[in-house]
């Protein structure tokens, strides 16, 4: 949600721009203060050719990380705006649980900067779905807000209901791989009324945080099974603790 340029001075007068992380005064309602920008961990190169996991050393453009060698991913790349640290955690909490949905354009810009250059017209943004009861309680799907902003930034299409979550799932934190798979079994499916828009399509699967990857993998699996040509995963924050020292 963005303020119309003509109304921005009034909005700034009523709600003076403040950094959403530290509360310091800033010039506009669209970012962070200089100090807090420096607290974000932005992933870069060198990185894994398949999942963009940062490498400590440049070992070749087509090199794969150990997880991708052991279990080749079905997705076609990961675009993470930031690595998950204290600063990005606070932004996610403010956005998702603090209901500061006006942060969506700023978070989306960070994601868009990491998307492959070819993502744009001819691509479709598909958010990770929420179960209807969670959507009812929260009032919005944060992934859908980010997907809408990314579609606008890149000139792509938006398919808000391409995926559906058929059952509520518990928190996957602390669960092993097998337990996560059981929790997600049958939980996510392609919306049958949107199957024709997924078949043969180039898609960006959008979420706010990528943790173990179990949910995104389940989504990618369903999209590829439905005939999607490509599925790139895009998120604002990616949990890779071992990579934080590399940025």
C-alpha closest to that of 228 among 116, 75, 79, 114: 75
Same domain, 165 and 66: yes
pLDDT at residue 9 greater than cutoff 60: no
User: How many domains does the chain divide into?
Assistant: 2
Alpha carbon separation from 230 to 104, 150, 220 (Å, rounded): 25, 17, 9
- What CATH number should be reported for the domain holding residue 193? 3.40.50.2020
Same domain, 27 and 47: no
Residue-level pLDDT at 8 = 46
DSSP 107: H
Same domain, 17 and 80: no
| Residue-range definition of the domain harbouring residue 18 | 1-39
What Rg value do the Cα atoms of the chain yield, rounded? Answer: 18
% of the chain exceeding 90 in pLDDT: 64
Summary mean pLDDT of the chain: 88
Same domain, 120 and 18: no
Same domain, 28 and 58: no
Same domain, 86 and 14: no
- Are 210 and 216 contacting, i.e. CB atoms less than 8 angstroms apart? yes
Q: pTM to 2 decimals?
A: 0.89
Residue-level pLDDT at 175 = 63
- Are 68 and 50 contacting, i.e. CB atoms less than 8 angstroms apart? yes
Same domain, 49 and 28: no
C-alpha closest to that of 163 among 217, 123, 100: 217
Residues 6 or more apart whose Cβ sits within 8 Å of residue 118: none
Same domain, 99 and 186: yes
Residue-level pLDDT at 107 = 96
Q: What is the pLDDT of residues 96-153, one digit of tens each?
A: 998 889 899 999 999 999 999 999 999 999 999 998 988 999 999 999 999 999 999 9
pLDDT at residue 25 greater than cutoff 60: yes
Same domain, 46 and 29: no
Q: What is the pLDDT of residues 70-96, one digit of tens each?
A: 999 999 999 999 999 999 999 999 999
Which has the higher per-residue pLDDT, 136 or 174?
A: 136
pLDDT at residue 28 greater than cutoff 50: yes
Same domain, 165 and 111: yes
Same domain, 21 and 108: no
Same domain, 8 and 54: no
User: Using CA atoms, how far apart are residues 197 and 201, in angstroms rounded to an integer?
Assistant: 7
């Amino acid at each position: 949600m963005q303020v119309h340029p003509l109304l921005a001075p009034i909005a700034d007068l009523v709600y003076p721009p403040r950094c959403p992380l530290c509360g310091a005064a800033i010039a506009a309602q669209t970012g962070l203060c200089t100090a807090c920008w420096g607290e974000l961990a932005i992933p870069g190169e060198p990185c894994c050719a398949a999942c963009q996991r940062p490498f400590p050393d440049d070992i070749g453009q087509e090199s794969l990380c150990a997880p991708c060698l052991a279990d080749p991913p079905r997705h076609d790349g990961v675009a993470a705006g930031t690595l998950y640290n204290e600063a990005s955690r606070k932004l996610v909490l403010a956005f998702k649980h603090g209901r500061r949905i006006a942060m969506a354009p700023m978070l989306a810009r960070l994601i868009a900067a990491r998307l492959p250059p070819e993502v744009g017209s001819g691509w479709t943004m598909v958010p990770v779905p929420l179960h209807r009861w969670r959507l009812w309680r929260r009032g919005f799907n944060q992934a859908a807000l980010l997907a809408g902003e990314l579609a606008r930034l890149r000139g792509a299409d938006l398919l808000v209901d391409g995926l559906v979550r058929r059952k509520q799932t518990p928190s996957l934190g602390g669960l092993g791989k097998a337990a996560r798979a059981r929790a997600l079994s049958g939980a996510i499916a392609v919306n049958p009324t949107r199957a024709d828009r997924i078949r043969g399509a180039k898609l960006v699967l959008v979420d706010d945080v990528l943790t173990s990857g179990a949910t995104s993998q389940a989504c990618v699996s369903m999209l590829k099974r439905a005939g999607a040509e490509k599925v790139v995963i895009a998120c604002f924050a990616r949990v890779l603790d071992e990579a934080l020292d590399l940025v």
